[in-house]
Amino acid sequence: MVAHLTMILLIYFLAAMAVHAMHQRHLSRPESEGFEQILLIPSNQAGRIEGIVRELCRELLYRGKSFRLTVVADRTEAETITIIEKLMQRQGMETSYLPAVPADIERVAQTDHTFRLIDLRESEQ
């Protein structure tokens, strides 16, 4: 009888500790920061793109931001695009595409802070 009561008390104690830990984790999360537009230029990064997109989604979802991903890629990057599409579908999100990099994108990205530019072209060099 005493063993059963001790087991019940132990279970209640562990459950209370779990609830307390989850509550502390919830309090430590930053406030929701709204919406962010992401412009991604993958440039044939099929080997690395999954980790990059997963980390981006994890960061934005942790911060409570909703976001829209626009991928700038041509038809030669079909494998990279397929990977991105699968990852975004798992998140329940759609991806939009641009067929070519706009000529003044770097200048606009520096002056206009309404979107974040992730340019992976430089890592190939």
Higher pLDDT, 115 or 79: 79
* Rounded average pLDDT over 20-26: 84
What integer pLDDT is reported at residue 58 of this predicted model? 86
pLDDT over 80 at 16, yes or no: yes
Name the architecture of domain 35-124. 3-Layer(aba) Sandwich (3.40)
pLDDT at 18: 95
pLDDT of residue 123: 47
DSSP 3-state assignment of 72?
strand
**Mean pLDDT in residue range 42-55:** 85
pTM above 0.75, yes or no: no
Residue indicated by tokens 């992976």: 120
What is the predicted pLDDT for the residue at 109?
63
How far lies 78's CA from each of 8, 46, 74, 114, in Å? 57, 9, 8, 28
- By the 10 Å C-beta count (0-12 exposed, 13-18 middle, 19+ buried), 77 is classed as buried
Instruction: Tell me which residue of 21, 37, 13 sits closest to 98, measured CA to CA.
Output: 37
Tell me the sheet residues that pair with 88. Answer: none
